[in-house]
Structures are given as C-alpha cells and as structure tokens.
Amino acid sequence: MMDYFDFTGKVVIEFYENGCLNCQMMAPIITNLEREFPYIKFYRINADLYPNLVQKYQVTSIPSLLLFRNGQKVSTIIGAKPYHILRMMITDALAYA
C-alpha cells in the first residue's frame, strides 16, 4: 500500500510500532511538529504492518525518523526525543532545501 512517498521538498518518515512506549510518547510531539511545519511532508509508517519498508529503508530501531531533502536522505533520528530537541534536529537537517 504505502510504498511510494512524494520526496519533493522536505520529508520526514516516522517508523513506529503500536506497542512501543517511546513511540506513544513521540506521537503528540510529531503531531505538533506537523502543525508547526506545514511545508514538511510527514509520513507515519507502522513497522509491524510494513516490514518491506522497514527493510527497504534499513530501519533497525523504533521509533526512527528518516529525514529527506529533495529525495536525498540527510539524517536519521533514532529513539524518543523531547519536542525542543527533535524540532532543532529536524530544522537543522532540513534547513537548506
């Protein structure tokens, strides 16, 4: 189903699992970032439902965020992070698109 992403511009792909407590902590943070940065495309992928995408993007830990700028992966963020840290990491990685 979700094996295609629009990689034009700035993109964040979040890999999560339903039973993951860190993923549950991250969910409202990601939602707030989506609201704050409407020009960034956010995709949420349930790793349990899409193991082919986990393999394709070589995700080894959950939660993981993959950051892309114009189709090129520029950063990977692994694990739960506080809002202000995650915001800084995303803006730093995607600043030059």
- CATH class, domain 10-94, is alpha beta
Q: Structure tokens of 96?
A: 């030059």
Q: 96 pLDDT band (50/70/90 cuts)? A: low
List, by residue number, the catalytic residues. 20, 23
pLDDT in tens, 38-70: 999 999 999 999 999 999 999 999 999 999 998
Separation CA 53–CA 63 (nearest Å): 14
